[in-house]
Amino acid sequence: MAEFPKIISVDDHVVEPPDVWTSRLPAKYADIGPRVVREKIAEMTFVGGVFSHRAAGPDEDGDWCDWWHYDDLRYPMTRVMAAAGFPRDEVTISPITFDDMRPGCYDSKARLEDMDANWTEASLCFPTFPRFCGQTFLEREDKVLADLCVKAYNDWMFEEWCAGTDNRLIPLPIIQLWDAELAAQEVRRNAARGGHAVCFSEIPAFLGLPSIHDADHYWDPFFQACAETETVVSMHIGSSSKMPSTSSDAPPAVGSTLTYMNAAMSLTDFLMSGIFERIPKLEVAYSEGQIGWIPYVIERADKVWMENRGWGGVADKVTRPPSESYYEHVFGCFFDDEHGLESLDRVGVDNVAFETDYPHSDSTWPDSKSMAERHLKHLDDETVYKLIRGNAIRMLRLPFD
């Protein structure tokens, strides 16, 4: 290979600038719509997925923190979500402001510079304040405002974050999770301006929504819109707002080790739901789940489908081995998974894309190229090209070679 292929990352993140919603929502929402407020914090804790804090008094020491305020929600910025540039041991769940972050976290021009430093040509970025698939807006009672917030985020994504970047920043909009028909309309609205990806929850039932197995096919309008517009359904670990762990007192490292389990459960849902047979052009992708778990899941799914047909509840809707649907409809992604690459023949060389996870704590930035070269050195040039950029180009319908 004359030169290692330029990376196309299918999983990065953007920290939304403070004016995403204040510059787009009607004036009547100025006091309740999403906005950033800076506050000095004496103490802050994060237990069970919930932040609590005590503001510093006038003469008390503390750390400045930028908070998102939205209706009754208070959501702090932390170093974990903007870890780029910090030493690993200093990446903690501690307060941070926009002034403390690397500008590439929130500024598109600076992001392109950081991508250049990381041998990255293009990047697909998941949200931060809306969370991985827009759960923040699902959870608010005022759905009129929530709908406006979803559309404002998507307008910013297309008109500012990605605009003028020569397709290097790839649009990844969110949807109105509480209404599959509205979600379908939003998919089509964004496809009309060049979008070919959309965020979704890996396990919507964990969000209190109908499952992929819903008898009335609740999600079909959304999935049909995705299929018709060649929009891949992108699901990030944690997009169900429920991370796997073993006990309430297990340290975060336990859950971080087990993050792939949600992706494994989600893939099993899709394979056993019959949705790929109802909507044969639908494609889905799993972000930050790595790929080493995939061969076992599809092998087990095939055996269950074959051996438990009498009572498994899927014989009437899944008419062929689930693994066949996997190879035709599903993308996994990885950044550091030696075991998965050793099983690439089972994972599928056409079913895998690469990610850098900038600016999160798991990110390989600015060393993604050297890590990829080390992990892929045993593979032929054609396979390396597919994993690093070719499959992403196909998945996202990108105008690159």
- Strands 120-126 and 284-287 come out as unpaired
- Strands 7-13 and 50-55 come out as unpaired
Rounded to whole angstroms, the Cα distance separating 182 from 249 reads 40
> Is 0.85 surpassed by the pTM of this model?
yes
What's the confidence (pLDDT) of residue 89?
85
Residue 1 has pLDDT above 80, yes or no: no
Tell me 14's DSSP state: -
Contact in structure between 177 and 134 (CB atoms under 8 Å) = yes
Rounded to whole angstroms, the Cα distance separating 194 from 201 reads 22
Strands (E), 292-356: 330-334, 352-354
Residue 2 has pLDDT above 80, yes or no: no
Q: Return the closest-CA partner of residue 374 out of 346, 337, 347.
A: 337
Residue 45 has pLDDT above 80, yes or no: no
131-185 pLDDT, tens digit each: 999 999 999 999 999 999 999 999 999 999 999 999 999 999 999 999 999 999 9
The values of phi and psi at residue 231, to 5°, are: -105, 115
Residue 49 has pLDDT above 70, yes or no: no
Least confident among 94-98, 137-141, 241-245, 264-268: 241-245
Strands (E), 257-336: 284-287, 330-334
Q: Which residue has the higher pLDDT, 80 or 201?
A: 201
Structure tokens at 92: 């903690």
Rounded to whole angstroms, the Cα distance separating 335 from 357 reads 8
Q: Which residues pair with 12 in a beta bridge?
A: 125
Rounded to whole angstroms, the Cα distance separating 103 from 82 reads 10
What's the confidence (pLDDT) of residue 393?
98
What's the confidence (pLDDT) of residue 349?
98
- Strands 50-55 and 35-47 come out as antiparallel
What's the confidence (pLDDT) of residue 42?
78
255-299 pLDDT, tens digit each: 889 888 999 999 999 999 999 999 999 999 999 999 999 999 999
Rounded to whole angstroms, the Cα distance separating 189 from 65 reads 36
What's the confidence (pLDDT) of residue 223?
98
What average pLDDT is seen over the chain? 94
pLDDT confidence bin for 91, thresholds 50/70/90: confident
Maximum Cα interatomic distance, the chain, rounded to a whole number of Å:
71
What's the confidence (pLDDT) of residue 341?
95
Rounded to whole angstroms, the Cα distance separating 401 from 398 reads 9
